[in-house]
Structure 1
Amino acid sequence: MTQQLEGWLPARIHVDGGQLRVDWCHLGAQRFTDPFFDETLERRLRHPFALLFRHQTSMDALVARQARKPGLPVRGLVFHMSRCGSTLVAQLLAALPRHIMLSEAGPVDTVLRAHQHLPGVTDAQRIEWLRAVVGALGQQRHPEERAVFLKLDAWHVLELPLLQQAFPGVPWMFLYRDPVEVMASHQNHRGAHMLPGLLNPAHLGLEPGQVEGMPLDEYGARVLASICEAGLRGYLERSGPARLLDYRQLQSEGLRVLTELFGLELTAEDKPRLRDVLERNAKNPVLPFEDDTEEKARRVTSLGRALAEQWGRPVHDALEAERLRANNPA
């Protein structure tokens, strides 16, 4: 099966008959350079071969393959609050041909949340599955590729301890932004985690009954606060390399932070690539970058602002205090 799946990747993992099944897609030589994993996958599925020819295996087959072909090493994890510049970080890392950047890959999310759909799944199983998925997605398909970076979904910071067990000692960062601005973005177009149903209420410090009937803006504000609290808690309890980065510092300091944290050795050819990324809209690279801070501040509703201040401001300020303390040690 290993030879049969050469050039293929686990595109989707789903529950079938009480077990996880893996749908494979032939990626060929295509790199993960789109802002999100699913965009690369969708582009590939426009090719007749990838669309017509599929493989499906058990999760056990994926795990067995990982034992034989573990993939490139994971060199960095990117956690974030959502709508705070993490896509730009992913695009900067993806711009260097020696990196495989997996940006919010659906198969990673599926295995991280497998215990919500399959009773009895243990942390050890999730760790094994996670390593297998990332190993398969992180296969070297170009001679220059040397390392894998994971940009996780926003809610995955709630699983930070498990991810650190899966990838021990790997440097990580947590990005955040003024909660009012993030709330404004989600009021315009809500992310999946801002709607009840995706996340276990217990992870948010809520009882199931509390969620029922809770206004969407309040639920969203509490989700954002819980995500930031998990990032702050992980940073305070860190035992390895980790950095906090605020959206306002991303354009001026982001590249330096990435270089220091992940040990990037930039070449003369890298610098214009990275400069080009910084000048473009990360989610839509055909457009130039424009700071939307003032627009978001104007667009948020008065209720959204009040809830963001109530739930998000205290933890945002605590994150800022820790970031400034780390940058200016006594």
Structure 2
Amino acid sequence: MSPRLDGWIPARLQVEGEQPWVDWCHLGSQRFTDPFFDETLERRLRHPFPLLFRHRTLMQTLVERQTSHPGLPVRGLVFHMSRCGSTLLAQLLASLPRHIVLSEAAPVDTVLRIHSRLPWVDEARRIEWLRAVVAGLGQKRNPEEQAVFLKLDAWHVLELPLLERAFPGVPWLFSYRDPVEVMASHQKHRGAHMLPGVLEPARVGLGAEQLSELSLEEYGARVLARLCEAGLEGYRARKSPALLLNHRGLQDTAVSRLVELFGLEPNAAESELLAQAADRDAKNPVLQFEDDSKQKAEAVSEASRKLAEKWVRPVYEALEAERLRAEPQ
């Protein structure tokens, strides 16, 4: 007999042998309002009940449950090159109580990359599992909730065509930033995808033998270039409404661009919530936003600057050209 899972979410996926298993966490009515999915999960696990009581099922249980519990509709996808304002976008969307915003949710990442561990998992199965995971996470647990938004990990832009097939017609955006500023941010605190071995070398256009030959800075620059190339390729081949969004001026334009792309139609109270969220630091909402572009440009090492210009600048300029062509003059 399957456990009763109302109020529970698929919090983690684990591969054991040849099968994926789902670890469930009781979330109750708690909303995903933290900058990242894992922060909400960690906060919930401080409470005794979800810490002590767990469910574990096969993935097939989650797939079958989707028939009776399809979850709220997915209304938007947020792709990005990393360190370019995507967390602000997620926080703006999450400021409206009618939205469930899944920001870099680990179960989504596991499904998107599971075929590297289970070679028998084909694209159709990944799409089936992805829809089931999002449906499980996107259950209506509060009366005002109406829609789900996915803010993906930076490397998920490499799976953009699959995500378009999984959620056909759903609008998406790709957020990017001056590459020197992005390299400066990773110089201070390097993201996981900027470390060799986290992503399969072929996924970022490298051979395995090249990893030992590249400095951390060059590897990172080439990863960022590949992510931007994937965003550009996806935009040019788009099958859904899509938007390219530059970090420059994002604080002033983000609300209007999200409203337009995703058809948010906020009322007066919701407009105020959006304005308040836009004024806060996205990753530390107790602080007010401060533009750090100048500091980043000044702090970057000369090696990182040169590599950003060599590898990332050309595709950044191509993204800018596409964005400017699409925007009304």
Structure-1-length-normalised TM-score = 0.98
Question: Does structure 1 residue 45 correspond to structure 2 residue 31?
Answer: no
What residue in structure 2 maps to residue 25 of structure 1? Answer: 25
What residue in structure 1 maps to residue 294 of structure 2? Answer: 294
What residue in structure 2 maps to residue 266 of structure 1? Answer: 266
User: Separation in 2 of the partners of 1:126 and 1:249?
Assistant: 37
Question: Please, which moves more after superposition, 195-204 or 220-229?
Answer: 195-204
Q: Aligned partner of 2:209: which letter?
A: G
Question: Please, which moves more after superposition, 162-171 or 10-19?
Answer: 10-19
User: Separation in 1 of the partners of 2:221 and 2:328?
Assistant: 30
**Moved segments of 4+, more than 6 Å:** none
Q: What are the superposed Cα offsets for residues 96-126 of structure 1, whole Å, 9 maximum, x if unpaired? A: 0110000000000000000111122100110
Q: Aligned partner of 2:124: which letter?
A: A
Question: Does structure 1 residue 95 correspond to structure 2 residue 95?
Answer: yes
What residue in structure 2 maps to residue 83 of structure 1? Answer: 83
User: Separation in 2 of the partners of 1:315 and 1:14?
Assistant: 36
What residue in structure 2 maps to residue 11 of structure 1? Answer: 11
What residue in structure 1 maps to residue 236 of structure 2? Answer: 236
Q: What are the superposed Cα offsets for residues 70-104 of structure 1, whole Å, 9 maximum, x if unpaired? A: 10000000000100000000000000011000000
What residue in structure 1 maps to residue 155 of structure 2? Answer: 155
What residue in structure 1 maps to residue 203 of structure 2? Answer: 203
Shift of 1:18: 2.1
Q: Aligned partner of 1:99: which letter?
A: H
Question: Does structure 1 residue 104 correspond to structure 2 residue 109?
Answer: no
Structure-2-length-normalised TM-score = 0.98
What residue in structure 1 maps to residue 178 of structure 2? Answer: 178
User: Separation in 2 of the partners of 1:28 and 1:37?
Assistant: 15
Shift of 1:253: 1.4
User: Separation in 1 of the partners of 2:209 and 2:29?
Assistant: 49
What residue in structure 2 maps to residue 164 of structure 1? Answer: 164
Question: Please, which moves more after superposition, 300-309 or 234-243?
Answer: 234-243
User: Separation in 1 of the partners of 2:238 and 2:111?
Assistant: 24
Task: Spell out the pairing of 1:114-125 with structure 2 (5 A cutoff).
Answer: 114-125=114-125
Q: Percent identity?
A: 68
Q: What are the superposed Cα offsets for residues 248-276 of structure 1, whole Å, 9 maximum, x if unpaired? A: 13112111110111010101111211111
Gap runs ≥5 in structure 1: none
Q: Secondary structure at the match of 1:248?
A: coil
Q: Secondary structure at the match of 2:315?
A: helix
User: Separation in 1 of the partners of 2:160 and 2:200?
Assistant: 15
What residue in structure 1 maps to residue 215 of structure 2? Answer: 215
Q: What are the superposed Cα offsets for residues 154-211 of structure 1, whole Å, 9 maximum, x if unpaired? A: 0000000100110001000000000000000001101000001121111111111111
Shift of 1:17: 1.7
User: Separation in 2 of the partners of 1:249 and 1:328?
Assistant: 16
User: Separation in 2 of the partners of 1:66 and 1:221?
Assistant: 40
Q: Aligned partner of 1:233: which letter?
A: E
User: Separation in 2 of the partners of 1:90 and 1:31?
Assistant: 13
Q: What are the superposed Cα offsets for residues 42-62 of structure 1, whole Å, 9 maximum, x if unpaired? A: 000000000000000111111
Work out whether residues 2 and 65 of structure 1, in 8 Å CA contact, stay in contact via their aligned partners in 2: no
User: Separation in 2 of the partners of 1:251 and 1:202?
Assistant: 35
Shift of 1:3: 6.4
Q: Aligned partner of 1:23: which letter?
A: D
Shift of 1:240: 2.1
User: Separation in 2 of the partners of 1:46 and 1:280?
Assistant: 26
Work out whether residues 225 and 312 of structure 2, in 8 Å CA contact, stay in contact via their aligned partners in 1: yes
User: Separation in 2 of the partners of 1:116 and 1:249?
Assistant: 38
What residue in structure 2 maps to residue 36 of structure 1? Answer: 36
User: Separation in 2 of the partners of 1:18 and 1:219?
Assistant: 32
Work out whether residues 241 and 261 of structure 1, in 8 Å CA contact, stay in contact via their aligned partners in 2: yes
- Provide the aligned C-alpha RMSD in A: 1.0
User: Separation in 2 of the partners of 1:328 and 1:256?
Assistant: 14
User: Separation in 2 of the partners of 1:136 and 1:249?
Assistant: 36
User: Separation in 2 of the partners of 1:239 and 1:57?
Assistant: 35
Shift of 1:2: 6.4
User: Separation in 1 of the partners of 2:113 and 2:49?
Assistant: 31
What residue in structure 2 maps to residue 142 of structure 1? Answer: 142
What residue in structure 1 maps to residue 129 of structure 2? Answer: 129
